Amino acid sequence: MTMPSKAMQEYLASHEVYVSTQTACSSDETRSEAVYRLTKSETKARTSIRISLSHLTSTEEIETLVDLIRAVAL
């Protein structure tokens, strides 16, 4: 299933998981210009999310993210 990036962002935020749909320095557009330029795929540019992790991110937080994405991908 392909979900628009904004819909995925809102779904994850409703579960207190926060991601971005753009690069850090981009405007609020419906597609990721960086992803489009790299892939030349309109679909990938409109459905990509950016996930930021750090040394403070726990295994449990990553597992929660994966579980939430799987729940809508299946």
What does pTM read for this prediction? 0.81
Tell me which residue of 53, 49, 54 sits closest to 72, measured CA to CA.
49
pLDDT digits (tens), the chain, 74 positions: 688 999 999 999 999 999 988 776 666 667 888 889 999 999 998 889 889 999 999 999 999 999 999 999 87
Beta bridge partners of 20: 50
